[in-house]
């Protein structure tokens, strides 16, 4: 399988394979070797990928992902974490739930994270109304469906008891005068909870600035790896690499990474972005 190796500024290696992750995971990865898998498989909702057919019969799709889960479980360490991002479309909202049930055959669902892409908040503060209208989403024109501004990230583990570094992505307490009451208060941070607002960057041209039809922000992958625990993480994998956003997160965090992508156009784009010195 063709591969490309990119060094980080520190001592880590980003290794990208052009090929099928089912074959690659079995051939190139040792059993019990991966600490964190952050990935977003195809959702089977008819996304227009270059190569992959995203509209196969649902049973076939779920079997395919079930087979993937079996191989992923073998290469994952016993105390490893999978962060599986799954979205849907308004006319086919069952996909994430069906995928979660398929994963249940192999893993424990330790946490459910809601990736919020856009939100409107109206808040009354000291008698003054504050409005926040932020983020990006694909607007749909419909009398039946509301805009979809959110996706799931399922945190799957082998036994449901992986200890997390919650404060690595913690947020400041609202009332700092009360923090001494809580044991973690000394850091001035509390657990962020499971609703993560992470917007896409504002772009000028879809084709030029985000040349993939279903990518996530590198920040999402970064937060998942931090939550699992930076210090204990030696190897991160994204078997459905796309244009390499999990790899970008690993480059920023200086973590070893391995990824697979079947589509040469996306693979080449990932290599190009990762080889750029300053990609922020």
Residues that bind ligand SAM (CB under 6 A): 20-22, 40-42, 49, 51-52, 212, 214-216, 239-240, 242-243, 245, 260-263, 266
Bridge partner residues of 156 (DSSP): 82, 109
> Encoding tokens for residue 91?
């006319």
> Encoding tokens for residue 107?
């893993």
Query: Given the complex with ligand SAM, which of 237 and 262 has the nearer CB atom?
Result: 262
How far lies 17's CA from each of 142, 240, 268, in Å? 41, 10, 11
Query: Given the complex with ligand SAM, which of 229 and 239 has the nearer CB atom?
Result: 239
Query: Given the complex with ligand SAM, which of 61 and 107 has the nearer CB atom?
Result: 61
Computed from CA positions of residues 96, 248, 164, 38, in that sequence, does the dihedral angle turn out positive or negative? positive
Shortest distance, position 143 Cβ to ligand SAM, whole Å: 29
> Encoding tokens for residue 249?
């997160």
Shortest distance, position 192 Cβ to ligand SAM, whole Å: 21
Query: Given the complex with ligand SAM, which of 3 and 215 has the nearer CB atom?
Result: 215
CB 243, CB 269: distance < 8 Å: yes
Find the residue with minimal CB distance to ligand SAM: 242
Query: Given the complex with ligand SAM, which of 47 and 108 has the nearer CB atom?
Result: 47
On the CB side of 203, how many CA atoms lie within 13 Å of its CA?
14
Q: How do the residues of the chain divide into helix, strand and coil, expressed in percent and rounded to 5?
A: 30, 30, 40
Shortest distance, position 271 Cβ to ligand SAM, whole Å: 13
């Amino acid at each position: 399988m063709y591969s490309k190796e990119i060094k980080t500024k520190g001592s880590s290696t980003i290794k990208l394979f052009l090929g099928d992750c089912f074959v690659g995971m079995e051939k190139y990865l040792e059993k019990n070797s991966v600490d964190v898998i952050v990935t977003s498989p195809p959702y089977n909702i008819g996304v227009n990928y270059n190569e992959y057919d995203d509209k196969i019969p649902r049973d076939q799709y779920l079997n395919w992902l079930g087979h993937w889960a079996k191989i992923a479980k073998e290469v994952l360490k016993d105390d490893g974490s999978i962060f599986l991002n799954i979205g849907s479309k308004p006319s086919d909202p069952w996909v994430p739930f069906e995928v979660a049930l398929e994963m249940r055959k192999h893993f424990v669902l330790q946490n459910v994270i809601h990736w919020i892409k856009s939100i409107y908040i109206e808040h009354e503060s000291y008698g003054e109304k504050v409005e926040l209208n932020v983020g990006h989403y694909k607007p749909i024109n419909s009398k039946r469906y509301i805009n979809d501004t959110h996706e799931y990230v399922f945190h799957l583990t082998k036994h449901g008891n992986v200890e997390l570094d919650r404060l690595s992505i913690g947020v400041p307490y609202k009332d700092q005068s009360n923090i001494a009451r809580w044991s973690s208060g000394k850091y001035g941070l509390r657990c962020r909870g499971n609703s993560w607002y992470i917007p896409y960057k504002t772009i000028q041209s879809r084709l030029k600035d985000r040349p993939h039809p279903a990518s996530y922000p590198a920040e999402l992958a970064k937060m998942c790896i931090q939550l699992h625990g930076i210090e204990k993480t030696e190897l991160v994998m994204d078997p459905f690499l796309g244009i390499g956003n999990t790899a970008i997160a690993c480059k920023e965090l200086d973590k070893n990474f391995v990824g697979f992508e079947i589509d040469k156009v996306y693979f080449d784009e990932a290599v190009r972005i990762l080889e750029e010195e300053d990609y922020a």
